[in-house]
Structure 1
Amino acid sequence: MARNTRHTAAQFALGIVGAGAMALAYATIIERNAFALRNVTVPVLPPGTPALRILHVSDFHMTPGQHLKQAWINELSTLEPDLIINTGDNLSHPRAVPNVVQALSGLLGRPGAFVFGSNDYFGPRPKNPFKYFKKGHKRTYGDPLPWQDLRAAFTERGWLDATHNQRELEVNGVNIVVAGVDDPHINRDRYNTIAGAPNPRAHIRIGLTHSPEPRVLDRFAQDGYDLVLAGHTHGGQLCLPIAGALVTNCGIDRSRVKGLSQWGAHMKLHVSAGIGTSPYAPARFFCRPEATLLTLVPTAASTRATDSAQQISQSDAPVR
């Protein structure tokens, strides 16, 4: 009897190890590269305003050898969005700037705006994953990254640096205010540089931040912004089927870790789950890498936001 019990226990232990190995292989090889396009309709424009299609990208965490990721990002240009918003963490390697620029080459000719995240300024470092469960844990910074080169590449092609700037532009008949802060995750935000109500004649007022920290979101809401776009969370990155994200790695609650939500009475928040991962944690589980096509429509055109995800394969163009 004892021998049978030991044999059963050993089989059970081997089963657990085997299941864990399969889950790890799936997370690191399959899901990490199962890029998805998420389509979200946002009723936020004044009645009578033309619809505006915004491609929101974030958290590439690019390294030179990630050719599949680069090809997928490049394919997004076939969507022909009206405006591109990039909410940072483009880099994970000091020689990755050309790879990011090449991946975005089809989009850099279109109107765009951006803010940077901590991994545009500093390279990644190995971390104890349990630190993410402790708010306010000590930050560790890697080697400096060439963010100035990336900024120059973006701005030379016409994208607006919204970092501590309030900018106005018109796209397809829609008057837009875009304002942003530097990454609150590493306390680089200086909201007072953009504080105050944006142009009330604009059709849409958009705030940008890499990390969706409540102190920054509250200021945008108080100043009358309609929509804030952020990244940083990776959607939780490693999620459970029913529980969802275990951590957000910032001050927002887990229910807002990705997608569209309401912040305050009048402002909407969209958090991108991002396209990449740290090279020291190259895994995703129940949280596919993604970009989002936000279609902004007049409030009278829809009473609820819709959210759907679809996969873009390397052989098929994105669905328009």
Structure 2
Amino acid sequence: MSNTLLRTVLSTTAAITVAGLSTLALAYRETHKFEVKQVTVPLLEPGTFEDPEEESFHILHISDLHMLDRQKHKQKWVAALSDLDFDLVINTGDNLGEDKGVPGVLRALDPLLNRPGVFVFGSNDYFAPRPVNPFIYLLGKKRTPSKVELPWRGMRAAFVERGWHDATHQHVDFSIEPRHDSLYVRHHKFNVAIAGVDDPHHELDDFRRIAGGPNPDADIAIGLSHSPEPHVLDQFAAEGYQLVLSGHTHGGQLCLPGSRAIVTNCGLDRSRVQGLSRWSERMWLHVTNGLGNSKYVPFRIFCRPSATLIHIVERGQDVEIYENI
């Protein structure tokens, strides 16, 4: 090989290496650029509120923390979500990223646990992640969880002790009192009916245990499923639920420009991998980008981690979506 050709090969290789490392560095930094999104969903019967132009019911949807104990910045950011104006926290699972993650989860959620809350778990609450080639993710192949059990029972006990409801394979019905100490005034006591399933991505769901439909006296009926698998969504829709909340997809995590997902890591189609979409004539689906990622795939591309503030309003009002607030 001539010296000129050798220099050309070496220069090209170096350029490709630098470009690759730069891309990985940017993708790693994206995992720390947290966002809060907002959506407005018209679900309620007209006349629910005294003044529908001023009143709504606010849900903070969080998911997929995949918390490591050392992630202090994420813990502080999540804790600061308590400064937002909301009535209810819904957590759709995959809180843990390692066996030492519970203290970090509780530090992050501590102020949120003072608010009414409901949760279901995902498989990464139960079992630790395992090393994986990041590019295997792009093939959309289902990955078997490890057999290393995580300390989810203690985390669940802490959630329940602070007042959050576990909706896994059970109905949760409760009322939330009017709020006058917030940026908005809600005069109406709000009746909520929620039911959830265990993680269907690994066949842990058993919808028969919550069959029968939601409480007909509730103002709103919400279904929870960590992974938005179509067969579960169809079951919730058939039972009369108005909204299903899920996580799991990380919004696609490694996306094309415009946050266009390459894969969903579940049975959901790519157009619904993040944000709000119609699932049926009477049911909406919201899938959050989530706030973390596996420690073995510490990258995000065109898909920043996020939580969502969901404004539930009366039917007849417009659907609104704000990418960041």
Structures share fold, TM-score greater than 0.5: yes
Q: Note if 1:97 corresponds to 2:102.
A: yes
The partner residue of 1:59 within 57, 60, 64 is 64
For 1:156 and 1:228, the matched residues in 2 are separated by 25
Task: Tell me what 1:21 maps to.
Answer: 21
SS of equivalent residue, structure 2 residue 290: coil
Q: Note if 1:72 corresponds to 2:77.
A: yes
| Greater mean deviation of Cα atoms: 99-108 or 81-90 | 99-108
- Residue type of the partner of 1:55? L
Task: Tell me what 1:315 maps to.
Answer: none
- Residue type of the partner of 2:322? S
SS of equivalent residue, structure 1 residue 20: helix
The partner residue of 1:247 within 263, 283, 290 is 263
Please list every run of at least 4 consecutive aligned residues from structure 1 whose deviation after the TM superposition is greater than 6 angstroms.
2-6
The partner residue of 2:320 within 294, 306, 309 is 306
The sequence identity of aligned pairs, in percent, is: 52
Cα deviation code 1:145-187 (max 9, x no counterpart):
1111011101111111000011111123121100000000111
Q: Give the CA deviation at 1:70.
A: 0.2
Task: Tell me what 2:286 maps to.
Answer: 270
SS of equivalent residue, structure 1 residue 239: coil
Runs of at least 5 residues in structure 1 that lack an aligned partner in the other structure = 312-320
Task: Tell me what 2:204 maps to.
Answer: 188
Runs of at least 5 residues in structure 2 that lack an aligned partner in the other structure = 50-55, 179-188
Q: How does 1:159-174 map to 2 (within 5 A)?
A: 159-171=164-176, 172=178, 173-174=189-190
Q: Note if 1:118 corresponds to 2:118.
A: no
How many residues are matched? 307
Contact 2:139-2:263 within 8 A present in 1 as well: no
The partner residue of 2:309 within 290, 293, 306 is 293
Q: Give the CA deviation at 1:46.
A: 1.3
- Residue type of the partner of 1:307? I
Task: Tell me what 1:314 maps to.
Answer: none
Q: Against the structure 1 CA distance between its residues 265 and 5, is the aligned structure 2 distance closer, same or farther, given a 3 Å change threshold?
A: farther
Q: Against the structure 1 CA distance between its residues 12 and 307, is the aligned structure 2 distance closer, same or farther, given a 3 Å change threshold?
A: farther
SS of equivalent residue, structure 1 residue 33: coil
For 2:267 and 2:261, the matched residues in 1 are separated by 14
Q: Give the CA deviation at 1:97.
A: 1.2
Cα deviation code 1:90-124 (max 9, x no counterpart):
00121221221121111101111000000100011
Q: Against the structure 1 CA distance between its residues 243 and 145, is the aligned structure 2 distance closer, same or farther, given a 3 Å change threshold?
A: closer
Contact 1:124-1:142 within 8 A present in 2 as well: no
Task: Tell me what 2:37 maps to.
Answer: 38
Cα deviation code 1:36-78 (max 9, x no counterpart):
0001111111112241100000000001100000000000001
Q: Give the CA deviation at 1:309.
A: 2.6
For 2:150 and 2:278, the matched residues in 1 are separated by 34
Q: Against the structure 1 CA distance between its residues 198 and 277, is the aligned structure 2 distance closer, same or farther, given a 3 Å change threshold?
A: same
For 2:10 and 2:301, the matched residues in 1 are separated by 27
SS of equivalent residue, structure 2 residue 103: helix
For 1:16 and 1:131, the matched residues in 2 are separated by 21
Q: Against the structure 1 CA distance between its residues 16 and 137, is the aligned structure 2 distance closer, same or farther, given a 3 Å change threshold?
A: same
The partner residue of 1:81 within 71, 77, 86 is 86
Q: Against the structure 1 CA distance between its residues 122 and 58, is the aligned structure 2 distance closer, same or farther, given a 3 Å change threshold?
A: same
The partner residue of 1:139 within 122, 135, 144 is 144
- Residue type of the partner of 1:222? A
The partner residue of 2:214 within 187, 198, 203 is 198
For 1:291 and 1:44, the matched residues in 2 are separated by 21
SS of equivalent residue, structure 2 residue 201: helix
Task: Tell me what 2:183 maps to.
Answer: none
Contact 2:97-2:129 within 8 A present in 1 as well: yes
Q: Against the structure 1 CA distance between its residues 12 and 288, is the aligned structure 2 distance closer, same or farther, given a 3 Å change threshold?
A: same
Contact 1:238-1:284 within 8 A present in 2 as well: yes
Contact 2:127-2:145 within 8 A present in 1 as well: no
